[in-house]
Chains A and B, each alone.
Chain A
Amino acid sequence: ETGVTQTPRHLVMGMTNKKSLKCEQHLGHNAMYWYKQSAKKPLELMFVYNFKEQTENNSVPSRFSPECPNSSHLFLHLHTLQPEDSALYLCASSPPGQLYMNTEAFFGQGTRLTVV
């Protein structure tokens, strides 16, 4: 148990569906991240939020829409996905500012997404 909780753990959705992934942490962290891990590929950073403001968007298609309503919650809204978007989606959190360099990031267990 890392203190970062992701729901659901597994999700199967059709290409026309709309779904959301949720991430929650009560560690007092203000930086939160979404990563994507496709089969046999390194983790790819998708989005970074720092104090609820998006600071990184690594050229992610608009069918992925993040939302950070407060420092404890992060969502990833999904719509009109493609089968190649099937992957493990991971959320992480860490302290903000210069502290991040000298401390650890905590990852959730991930949501295994399958697009059919």
Chain B
Amino acid sequence: DAKTTQPNSMESNEEEPVHLPCNHSTISGTDYIHWYRQLPSQGPEYVIHGLTSNVNNRMASLAIAEDRKSSTLILHRATLRDAAVYYCILRGPGAGSYQLTFGKGTKLSVIP
């Protein structure tokens, strides 16, 4: 799987928008960009995914750069419940591709 690079940590004020960046310069044309998050003491939770176009769902928005070498997860209004580790993961065809390979992610802290 192609690698992703994320900042180790970020902070946001409650009720402010949050933009979590991810670089994936070696992404292939068939790799989907997935985001998961893990709240303390819980299993990872799916957030959103996309291929080329920007995506929106009830949890977040995903903005994908035109060259697909980077993406940004957008939380429109951070709440205390959004404090978690956010993982950007690429999923595509190839050997060992069933697995979700997690990196260190970005630890998001939300300040009341």
Contacts and interface: CB of A to CB of B under 8 A. Distances in A.
A101 B32 contact: yes
Interface residues of B, number: 25
Given A42-B105, A101-B91, A102-B32, A31 B43 contact: no
A90 interface: yes
Which residue, of A56, A96, A102, A105, has the highest number of chain B Cβ atoms within 10 A?
A105
Contact of B49 (A4, A55, A102): A102
Interface of B: 30-32, 34, 36, 42-46, 49, 51, 91-93, 96-105
30 contacts: A2-B45, A4-B43, A31-B98, A33-B98, A42-B102, A42-B104, A42-B105, A43-B102, A45-B100, A48-B99, A50-B98, A55-B98, A56-B96, A56-B99, A90-B43, A92-B44, A98-B93, A100-B91, A101-B30, A101-B91, A101-B93, A101-B97, A102-B32, A105-B36, A105-B46, A105-B100, A106-B46, A107-B43, A110-B42, A110-B43
Interface of A: 2, 4, 31, 33, 35, 42-43, 45, 48, 50, 55-56, 90, 92, 94, 96, 98, 100-102, 104-110
